[in-house]
Amino acid sequence: MQILNGLELSKTIKKEIKEEVDVMVQQGHRPPHLVAILVGDDGASMTYVNNKIRSCKECGYESTLIKKTSDTTEEELIWLIKGLNADNTVDGFIVQLPLPDHINPDEVLLAISPEKDVDGFTPHSVGLMTLGLPSYKPATPYGILKMLQRYNIETAGKRCVVVGRSNIVGKPIGIMLGQNKSIGNCTVTILNTHTPNIEKYTKEADILIVAVGRPKMIHGDMVKEGVIVFDVGITRVVDESAKGYHLEGDVDFDSVAPKASYITPVPGGVGPMTVTMLLYNTLLARKKSIRR
C-alpha cells in the first residue's frame, strides 16, 4: 500500500509555481493576483480561505481577502463581483462556498466572468470542461487528476466509482475520468443517495473516489484488493483537543488501507492539492492576461 501524499506533492507543485512566478516578475510583469471573497463567519470556510491566502504568499502571488458580513445582500455581492470582473489588477477570484441561505449561489456563479473563474465553477467553465476543451478545471477534481499523473497511475480501462454527485467534486471528476484523455478513459459510475446497495458498486471499483461528507462511511469490506482510493470528505468531528475538533474523511482508513494499492489520508491528501490547483489555475489566468 502506498500513501498518496497530497501534502508533499502540493509542496513540490507550489515550488514549481513559485519558480515560474519569479521568472515572470524578473521579466517585468506583476505576479498573479488572487482575490477571495468570504461572506459570513463560518469557521471551516475561514480556515479554507486563510489556507488559500497563505499559499498565495508561499508562491509569490498577490492576494486580497474581502470579508463581508453575513447580512450582505445578493445584490451587494454581485456588485462586488462585477467590480472584480472589470479590475485589470485581478487575475482570478473565488467566492468561498457555502454562502448564507438568502444568497442564491447560482446567481452568484452566473455573475463571475469566465476569464476570472479560477475555481472552474461557472456554467461556461463546466461546459468547456465537459466538452474536453481547455478550461479552468475545478480544483478538487484537478488535484485528483494531478495525483494520478504524478504517481504514474494508469487510468485507461479502469473501473472508476465516484460516491457523491456534487457540482464541485463528484460530477466533474466523473466526467474528467471518463474522457478520452491521457488521465481518463475510465468506465465511470457515479453514486448518490438513491443508489441501492452502494457496496455492490464500491466493491467493483479499481479507482474509488468518495466525496460525501459522512465520516468513515466506506469500510474495508466494501472495497476490493488493490483498489486506489481518493478520500475527498472532510468533516469536523468535535473532540476535547485544544482545537476542539479533528478532521475525518469519508473512508475508514484503518480497515480500507490494508486492501488498497494507493490511498489518500485525511488530512494531507486531497485537501492540500485542492488549494494548489487553485493557484495553478490563477497562474494560467495571469499568463493569459500577459498574452492579451
Tell me how crowded residue 230 is: count the other CB atoms within 10 A of its CB.
30
- CA 152/CA 4 separation, integer angstroms: 11
Nearer to ligand NAP, 112 or 270 (CB): 270
The verdict on whether 96 is a catalytic residue reads yes
- The correct pick among 26, 193, 197, 241 for binding ligand NAP (CB under 6 A) is 193
145 lies in the binding site for ligand NAP (CB under 6 A): no
User: Is residue 179 flagged as an active site residue?
Assistant: no
Q: Which residue, chain included where needed, has cell 488521465?
A: 183
Strand pairing report for 207-210 and 245-248? unpaired
Cell numbers 472584480 correspond to what residue?
A: 84
Of these, 59, 163, 256, 278, which contacts ligand NAP (CB under 6 A)? Answer: 163
Options 14, 116, 117, 119, the catalytic residue: 119
Active site residue 119: yes
Distance CA 110, CA 93 (A): 14
105 upstream amide cis, omega within 30 of 0: no
Considering the rule CB under 6 A, would residue 166 count as an interface residue with ligand NAP?
yes
Alpha-carbon span 283 to 251, nearest angstrom: 32
Q: Residue 235, interface with ligand NAP (CB under 6 A)? A: yes
Distance of alpha carbon 33 from alpha carbon 53, whole angstroms: 11
Q: In terms of CB distance, is 44 or 128 closer to ligand NAP?
A: 44
Query: Contact letters (x/-) for ligand NAP, 247-286, by CB under 6 A?
Result: -----------------------xx--x------------
Question: Of 17 and 191, which CB lies nearer to ligand NAP in the complex structure?
Answer: 191
Residue 173 CB, shortest distance to ligand NAP, in Å, is 9
| Site membership for ligand NAP, residue 197 (CB under 6 A) | no
Smallest separation, CB 27 to ligand NAP (Å): 33
Site string for ligand NAP, 199-228 (x = CB under 6 A): ------------xxxx--------------
* By the rule CB under 6 A, 26 interacts with ligand NAP: no
Pick the closer one to ligand NAP by CB: 72 or 140.
140
Residue 98 amino acid letter: P
Alpha helices in the chain (DSSP H): 6-26, 43-58, 74-86, 105-111, 123-130, 139-150, 170-178, 198-202, 253-256, 270-291
Least separation, in Å, of the C-beta of 40 and ligand NAP?
Answer: 16
Residue 140 binds ligand NAP, judged by CB under 6 A:
yes
Count the residues of the shown chain that bind ligand NAP, applying the rule CB under 6 A: 25
**b/e string for 115-135 if b means 16 or more Cβ within 10 A?**
ebbbbbbbebbbebbeeeeeb
Instruction: Report residue 291 as a C-alpha cell.
Output: 498574452
Sign of CA pseudo-dihedral 275, 280, 284, 290: positive
Chain Cα centroid distance, residue 109: 16
Q: Return the active site residues.
A: 52, 96, 119
Residues that bind ligand NAP (CB under 6 A): 140, 163-166, 168-170, 191-195, 198, 211-214, 232-235, 270-271, 274
